Amino acid sequence: MSVFDNSKKGRKGVKLPKLDVDTKIKFSNKLLRDNQAKLPELSELDVVRHFTRLSSKNFSIDLK
Amino acid sequence: VQDFSDIIEKLHSVKALAVGSFYPVSLGLLKTPGAMGVDIATADGQSLGNYLGFGGPSFGIMATKKEFIRQIPGRIVGKTVDKEDKEAFVLTLQAREQHIRRQKATSNICSNQNLMALRATIFLSLLGKNGFKELSALNHLKTNYLKDELSKIDNITIKNLTPTFNEFVIKLPKKASKIIEQMSKSDIYAGIDLGKTDKNLDEFLLVAVTERRTKKQMDKFVKVLKEAL
């Protein structure tokens, strides 16, 4: 199962610092991307569970 | 920040390839190298959730169009299905030198880079589609604030008049190294003294602002800088 399979629209796993200044984006439309990056949308718990599960499936020196 | 689409088009018209390096965090806002037509894009992954770590370890990002995938050093992880039709990931297109001629191999993947890349994967999973865009915007908007405030100081010239992402260069009335030293007394690391790269640039300072800086901190920066001039 990949991390994308649990993706639910609108979820986010971090709280970013707030925007405390009043400025505008100065790039022209030609410089801006017109689509969003293909990233999953997950809560913090989704991410923790996914990578913890993945770590136990790993074939590594820690396993006998 | 510049759009290289026109230059790349000209390069392609004479059958040359375009190679570009990009800053990963900026891509939440800015056009991707692929959208500009870059053939081989590279980046440093430190800003994707990795520590500064006194210069390392970090990891590199390298991407190319599918037609050049066989020329990539290292190996590609491909997605496929196993005999029971279950999703599986396999190492594919990997040069055999990594296994049979390790001593002469020109490319190797090391575990420290893997750990950094894993950190970046977790970082991006947490941010997600919207968080990545928000992070990128925060960097740019906060940078605009400091840039605007610094442009109000008489003795300082902002060198990058076109929009910048989260770094810009200012020209000071005296040596940047002196200003950095003076400002460090107020617990502020002002930026990079460009005189270290070219001695003609010893009055130039490279300033960076990330999402973590607050308005209060930037106002203090301006105040302390004025005092140091």
B131/A14 touch (CB, cutoff 8 Å), yes or no: yes
Cβ contact B30–A32 (<8 Å): yes
> What's the rounded Cα separation, in Å, for the pair A20 and B223?
18
Q: Which of B125, B132, B212 to mutate to test the interface with A (most CBs of A within 10 A)?
A: B125
pLDDT tens by residue, B109-163: 667 788 899 999 999 999 999 999 999 999 999 999 999 999 999 999 999 889 9
User: What is the per-residue pLDDT across A46-62, written as a single tens digit (0 to 9) for each?
Assistant: 999 999 988 888 766 76
- Residue B41 neighbours by CB under 8 Å, 6+ apart: B19, B20, B21, B22, B33, B34, B61, B62, B63, B64
pLDDT digits (tens, 9 = 90+) for B59-90: 999 999 999 988 887 778 888 999 999 988 88
Give the pTM: 0.89
Contacts of A31 in chain B (CB under 8 A): 1-3, 30-31, 163
Give the angle subtended at the CA of B63 by the CAs of B62 and B67, to the nearest 5°.
135
Q: From CA B148, how far away is CA B164, in angstroms rounded? A: 12
Query: Tell me: the pLDDT tens digits for B172-223?
Result: 999 999 999 999 999 999 999 999 999 999 999 999 999 999 999 999 999 9
Structure tokens at B185: 């007394």
Q: Do A33 and B27 touch (CB under 8 A)?
A: yes
What own/partner pairs with CB < 8 Å and gap ≥ 24 does B11-16 have?
A: B12/B37
